[in-house]
């Protein structure tokens, strides 16, 4: 067992090494923290600290579409998280995948710990599918990548797997700039089941929930295929209802 002095020495060395990497990145590559823009690789300690006290919470869009699944988000969609998610998806900042996956794992844990989990069931994380053309342009599937790493974190407590059970059934318009009604109309009939889930129950996962149109349509398609849907988990949420007595989950401290 390590002595406290040994642990402290290792932590000091780790911080010093990270600072050296940040300085090298700034000098040689112009590396910047994707959250705040300060010299660093990936996400700096100050930005990480912004999320240290954030707990997963139930989120509901306004207005809430019929069939919207019980959904837990790890954080509000603030400017830092907006930049991190955008950098991950649009600029292929793969160094952020692990951090975002940890936030997603906290949301899944928060959902399951509130009673959605049936111990005999296998939990299947089902990523909301991106358009094939978008995946080709980005060079990777951002949501599926986060889901796989989140599943690895969750397997210490739950029998979790990942399955890309859904695919886009038709082309959809860019959701940016669309209102709630237009988004729901845009997503109606947008998904179909590609790989059936024969054992277990599904948890839909995505990076962000706004109007809830994608999660609602995905849940509808899975339910129509007689696949149980426990709920959904996301990294962030924008429009939401969060009364003062809305439950928050202390999953961060328990799950670490």
Q: Chain-centre distance of CA 245, in angstroms?
A: 24
- Whether the full predicted model's pTM is greater than 0.85, yes or no, is no
Within a domain: residue 221?
Answer: yes
Residue 213 has pLDDT above 60, yes or no: yes
pLDDT of residue 153: 96
The tally of domains found in the chain comes to 1
Q: What angle do CA 110, 116, 119 make, to 5 degrees?
A: 105
Assigned domain for 188 exists? yes
In a domain, 8, yes or no: no
Q: What is the pLDDT of residue 244?
A: 42
Cβ atoms of 235 and 74 within 8 Å: the answer is: yes
Least confident of 5-19, 69-83, 113-127: 5-19
Question: What confidence tier does 58 reach under pLDDT thresholds 50, 70, 90?
Answer: very high
Q: What is the CATH number of the domain that holds 90?
A: 3.40.50
- Tell me if 40 is assigned to some domain: no
Residue 64 and residue 212 in contact, taking contact as beta carbons nearer than 8 Å: yes
- What are 27-42's pLDDT values in tens digits? 455 678 999 988 887 8
Cβ atoms of residues 43 and 202 within 8 Å: no
- 178-190 pLDDT, tens digit per residue, is 555 655 555 555 6
Averaged pLDDT, 141-163:
95
DSSP string, the chain: ---HHHHHHHHHHHHHHHHHHHHHIIIII--B-TTT-SB-SSS-HHHHHHHTT---EE---SSPPTTPPPEEEEEE--HHHHHHHHHHHHS--GGGHHHHHHHHHHHHHHHIIIII--TTSPEEEEEPPPPHHHHHHHTS-HHHHHHHHHHHHHTTTS-EEE---EEESS-----TT--HHHHHHHHTT-EEESS---SSEEEEEEEEESSSHHHHHHHHHHHHTT--EEEEEEEEESS----TT--B-THHHHH-
Q: Which residue has the higher pLDDT, 222 or 173?
A: 222
Domain-located, residue 240:
yes
Of 101-110, 129-138, 147-156, the least confident: 129-138
Is 95 a member of any domain? yes
Closest CA to 52 of 110, 99, 111: 99
Measured in degrees and rounded to the nearest 5, phi and psi for residue 227 equal -105, 120
Structural domain includes residue 124: yes
Distance between CA atoms of 208 and 226, rounded to whole angstroms?
25
Domain that holds residue 210: 54-255
């Amino acid at each position: 067992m390590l002595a406290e002095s040994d642990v402290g020495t290792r932590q000091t060395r780790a911080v010093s090494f990270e600072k050296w990497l940040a300085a090298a990145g700034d000098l040689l590559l112009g590396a910047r923290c994707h959250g705040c823009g300060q010299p660093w690789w990936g996400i700096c300690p100050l930005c990480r600290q912004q999320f240290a006290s954030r707990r997963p919470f139930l989120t509901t869009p306004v207005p809430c579409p019929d069939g919207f699944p019980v959904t837990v988000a790890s954080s509000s969609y603030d400017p830092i998280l907006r930049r991190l998610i955008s950098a991950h998806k649009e600029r292929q900042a793969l160094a952020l995948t692990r951090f975002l996956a940890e936030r997603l794992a906290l949301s899944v844990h928060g959902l399951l710990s509130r009673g959605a989990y049936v111990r005999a069931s296998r939990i299947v994380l089902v990523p909301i599918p991106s358009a094939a053309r978008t995946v080709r342009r980005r060079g990777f599937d951002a949501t599926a990548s986060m889901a796989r790493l989140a599943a690895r974190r969750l397997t210490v407590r739950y029998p979790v797997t990942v399955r890309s059970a859904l695919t886009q059934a038709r082309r959809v318009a860019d959701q940016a700039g669309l209102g709630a009604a237009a988004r729901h109309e845009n997503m109606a009939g947008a998904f179909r089941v590609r790989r059936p889930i024969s054992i277990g129950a599904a948890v839909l996962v995505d990076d962000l929930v706004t109007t809830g149109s994608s999660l609602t349509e995905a849940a509808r398609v899975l339910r129509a295929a007689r696949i149980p849907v426990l709920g959904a988990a996301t990294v962030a949420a924008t429009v939401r209802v969060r009364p003062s007595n809305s439950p928050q989950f202390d999953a961060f401290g328990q799950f670490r």
